[in-house]
Amino acid sequence: MPPEYALLPYIESNYDPFSISSSGAVGLWQLMPTTGKIYNLQKSWWVEERHDPILSTKAAIKYLAYLYNRFDKDPILTLIAYHAGPTFLEKQIKSLERRGLSPSISNLKLSRESYNYVPKFLAIHQIVRKPYEYGVNLPKFPNERVIKKIDLSGQVEMLAFSEFIGVTPEFLYQLNAGYTKWATPPAENSVLYLPTEKLLDAEEKMESYFQDNPIRWMTHQVSRGENLWDIAKIYDVRLEDLKLVNSKTNNSILSINETLLVPLGDPELSSFIPYQSHIVSEGDTLWSLGRKYGIAPIEIARNNQLALNGVLTIGTALNIGTGNIARSMQAKKRSILYSVKQGDNLYKIGELFNLEISEIIELNNLASSDLSPGQILKLVISAL
């Protein structure tokens, strides 16, 4: 399989592990949910491994190898299959064969975005192969591992741990983008990826970290007939603590299958209250909640594992994502690349990512508001 496929994330996500497309593809390699399931990438309240740079790369390599063999080791058809889908491409090839035609790009009936996919890849490959011919100065990297993983014996909060080892929260999140919440999962078999130069120091100090940060978070899925008092007794936690971390009151009604946070330890020792919640009422949508709380609808959808076009259930508690992490990092932004889809316009994209149309125009130096499918826009959105 061509090693040049390592350049694909440049086209797919600009090497952004947090990248999310409107079609549901996420991560460096923009893997769809079905592909993630096939290659055993886990998804839970705490984890979305399609965002994990290491695990998603391993899955993408297996997927590309499968496509490479399925399409007779043709590197170009493999690229088209990766972008447009193998079933679609096979139908196209069979149709062409019946007419005695070869499956060349010019003969295949592809969308504009898929049609441009291979030329984009070939252009990037050529620039990387001969950067001096194009006036590009690529940095040199040593041929050695720059990150390693550390096995965790307990749960760590990302903000507290980043301060503990002396790296920025953004950097720690980028290395560990598979963790979608403010902390690693409560299971003891979790790992963290760290810069190699921080690994030894972290391993030596890990015991003191857990002594200084004894808080541990669990999640509880509400069953029929349960109330806050029942759940507090199950986990032997204070009722007031349970109400505090879930933004509940004595009069709050719990919904069946609602997810509650349970702090196993003294919440006062934790660095923050995790997030603000919202109880869905009649007429609520992801877009109206995004405007109300100042957060992109796509972020609310991700926080609650919802489809963007899904219907919200009245009485459900949603994680709005405006807890301590968002407050402490509200001034921090990150850039993503968004590929324009059929039917998109600036208003729709602005609503999706909670951006003003003028911001999108200025950032991309757009001469007009007209967009074309496949066009790449740069967007600056919240860091989390």
Q: What is the pLDDT of residues 325-373, one digit of tens each?
A: 333 333 345 556 666 766 788 988 887 777 888 889 988 889 888 887 6
Confidence at residue 347, expressed as pLDDT on a 0 to 100 scale: 87
Burial class (CB in 10 A: 0-12, 13-18, 19+), 281: exposed
**Phi/psi of residue 195, nearest 5 degrees:** -60, 140
**C-alpha–C-alpha distance, residues 320 and 28, integer Å:** 25
Per the CB < 8 A criterion, the answer to whether 252 and 277 are in contact is: no
The 3-state DSSP class for residue 97 equals helix
**C-alpha–C-alpha distance, residues 55 and 40, integer Å:** 10
**C-alpha–C-alpha distance, residues 205 and 198, integer Å:** 11
pLDDT digits (tens), the chain, 384 positions: 788 999 999 999 989 888 888 788 999 999 999 999 999 999 988 899 999 999 999 999 999 999 999 999 999 999 999 999 999 999 999 999 999 999 998 899 999 889 999 999 999 999 999 999 999 898 888 888 889 999 988 888 887 888 888 888 778 888 999 988 778 888 767 899 999 999 888 888 888 888 887 767 788 889 998 999 889 888 888 888 788 777 787 778 888 888 888 877 655 444 444 556 677 888 888 888 888 887 778 778 877 777 777 778 877 778 776 443 333 333 345 556 666 766 788 988 887 777 888 889 988 889 888 887 667 777 776 543
Could you tell me which of 98, 124, 96 has the C-alpha nearest to residue 110? 96
The 3 state secondary structure assigned to 348-376 is HHHHHHCCCHHHHHHHHCCCCCCCCCCCE
Residue 22's identity, in one-letter code, is S
Q: What is the pLDDT of residues 247-262, one digit of tens each?
A: 787 778 888 888 888 8
**C-alpha–C-alpha distance, residues 164 and 11, integer Å:** 35
**Interacting residues of 267 by C-beta distance below 8 A, sequence separation 6+:** 215, 241, 244, 245, 273
Confidence at residue 215, expressed as pLDDT on a 0 to 100 scale: 67
Tokens 């952004």: give the residue.
Answer: 16
The 3-state DSSP class for residue 3 equals helix
Residue 234's identity, in one-letter code, is I
Q: All domains of the chain, ordered by start, with CATH?
A: 3-134 (1.10.530.10), 147-212 (no CATH), 216-265 (3.10.350.10), 331-382 (3.10.350.10)
**Phi/psi of residue 217, nearest 5 degrees:** -110, 135
Report how many helices (DSSP H) and strands (DSSP E) the chain contains, helices first.
Answer: 16, 8
The 3 state secondary structure assigned to 120-133 is HHHHHHHHHHCHHH
**Interacting residues of 359 by C-beta distance below 8 A, sequence separation 6+:** 350, 380
Is the entire prediction scored with pTM above 0.85?
Answer: no
Confidence at residue 351, expressed as pLDDT on a 0 to 100 scale: 77
Tokens of 307: 């489809």
Per the CB < 8 A criterion, the answer to whether 376 and 337 are in contact is: yes
Confidence at residue 269, expressed as pLDDT on a 0 to 100 scale: 43
**C-alpha–C-alpha distance, residues 5 and 64, integer Å:** 8
> Count of residues for the chain?
384
Per the CB < 8 A criterion, the answer to whether 198 and 175 are in contact is: no
Confidence at residue 193, expressed as pLDDT on a 0 to 100 scale: 95
Beta bridge partners of 153: none
